[in-house]
Amino acid sequence: MVKEQTTLDIINYESPEMEYAFGNLMKSLIRLRVMNPKTKQLIYIGMKSALGDESAVRKCVPIAKKLGATKEEIEETILLTHAVSGLKCGASCLEIALQIYDESL
């Protein structure tokens, strides 16, 4: 099976400087301490679901689970995106998220 290339994979290859800058931005955001890591991860899953970014949802759900997020919290997070993006984006991500949650350790 060939791994699907993401936008981030292409940026990493074509523009390592941009990937480095983006990586530093993400590290800075992670270091912010007002919200707990689980809440941040749920928000990120919601934003990515609203955009229909299935690849990001696949990567983020196991992280959220390790941070203590329940399956119901992930489901509710994605369901909330329907108010913003309609049914199409969130629906595809919801099925993936629930499947990945059950498969992750």
Q: What is the pLDDT of residues 15-73, one digit of tens each?
A: 989 888 988 988 898 888 899 999 999 999 999 999 999 999 999 999 999 999 999 99
Q: What is 35-103's CATH topology?
A: AhpD-like (1.20.1290)
3 state SS of 18? helix
Residues in the chain: 105
Burial of 37 (0-12, 13-18, 19+ CB in 10 A): middle
* pTM, to two decimals: 0.78
Residue 4 has pLDDT above 80, yes or no: no
Summarize the chain as % helix, strand, coil (round to 5): 80, 0, 20
Domain boundaries, the chain: 1-32, 35-103
